[in-house]
Amino acid sequence: MKKTIALLSLAAALAAPLSAQAHRAWLAPTSTSLSGTDAWVGFDAGMSNGVFIPDHAAMRLDNLVVTAPDGSALQPEHMMQGQYRSTFDIHLTQNGTYKIANVGSGLMASYMLNGERKRWRGPAADYPSALPAGATEVQASRNNSRVETFVTLNAPSETVFQTTGEGLELVPVTHPNDLAAGEPATFKFMRDGQPAADLEVTVARGGLRYRDAPEEMTVRTGADGAFTVTWPEAGMYWMNAAVRTEAQGEALASNTSYVGVVEVLP
């Protein structure tokens, strides 16, 4: 249950409007493009006020999945959770692109029982049977969050870009490990398997600690879910999008969010 609560809390935080978002989640690699017969990449993961600045809380990695270029699952190594950040390494032995993702999903519900407001959190499959008999005034919402990044050993590949059809997912048009300052890059957002149109996407460059300007920009997706970013400078970038929908009929309210981290080279 602690694992489920942690994932739901992350999903709720990411789905909040950016103006109300106290802390931002991120999953940052030490490098994204490597060469050789094998390589190691380290990762930091946290929740913080400024992206890539570990100053609030470590990210729980209970639901971390590393997908190798051939589609198989790869076990992360040397995992550790500190006060402000979690860390781990992955050993790259296959040529191609790897996806590193921390995905959370579940359901939150509140209800009245014996004159008191109660709350329940758990897997969506357990709702509503997990609620106690006599519960009234039930309000429930589904939550889905995805925090991910990509790294490539030698030649890039595309197998890891296959979508699951659940939540917000990024579909690269421009490969995320082939980004350069001053050049445009195009991506698409899918929501539950369909193009996510008219979605606001926030893009922020790391290194805020060493400058006064936040250097954030916002773009919107088109009818096909696509958006284009021209990178002003080299650096590590944080991309975030979130969708919140109200309950309609039998459809529950939902909070869905995405965070992606990419490296832009000079």
Domain-located, residue 243 = yes
Domain-located, residue 116 = no
Domain-located, residue 126 = no
What pLDDT is recorded for position 15?
Answer: 40
- Given a contact cutoff of 8 angstroms between Cβ atoms, the answer to whether 125 and 88 are in contact is no
**What is the spatial distance between Cα 105 and Cα 53, in angstroms, rounded to a whole number?**
25
- Given a contact cutoff of 8 angstroms between Cβ atoms, the answer to whether 237 and 204 are in contact is yes
What pLDDT is recorded for position 208?
Answer: 86
- pLDDT category at 22 given cuts 50, 70, 90 is low
Domain-located, residue 80 = yes
Q: Does residue 77 register a pLDDT over 50?
A: yes
Phi and psi at residue 37, to the nearest 5°: -80, -25
Domain that holds residue 94: 2-106+140-161+234-264
Domain-located, residue 185 = no
Instruction: Tell me how crowded residue 141 is: count the other CB atoms within 10 A of its CB.
Output: 21
Domain total for the chain? 1
What pLDDT is recorded for position 3?
Answer: 45
- Given a contact cutoff of 8 angstroms between Cβ atoms, the answer to whether 141 and 252 are in contact is yes
Choose between 11 and 73: higher pLDDT.
73
What pLDDT is recorded for position 154?
Answer: 97
What are the tens digits of pLDDT across the range 169-209? Answer: 999 999 999 999 999 999 999 999 999 999 999 999 998 88
Domain-located, residue 150 = yes
**What is the spatial distance between Cα 203 and Cα 223, in angstroms, rounded to a whole number?**
20
Q: Rounded to 5 degrees, what angle do the CA atoms 234, 43, 187 make?
A: 50
Q: Mean of the pLDDT values across residues 214-234?
A: 95
- pLDDT category at 8 given cuts 50, 70, 90 is very low
Q: What CATH number should be reported for the domain holding residue 11?
A: 2.60.40.1930
pTM over 0.75: yes
Domain-located, residue 196 = no
Give the DSSP letter string of 199-257.
-EEEEEES-GGG-SS--EEEEE--TTSEEEEE-SSSEEEEEEEEEEE--BTTBPEEEEE
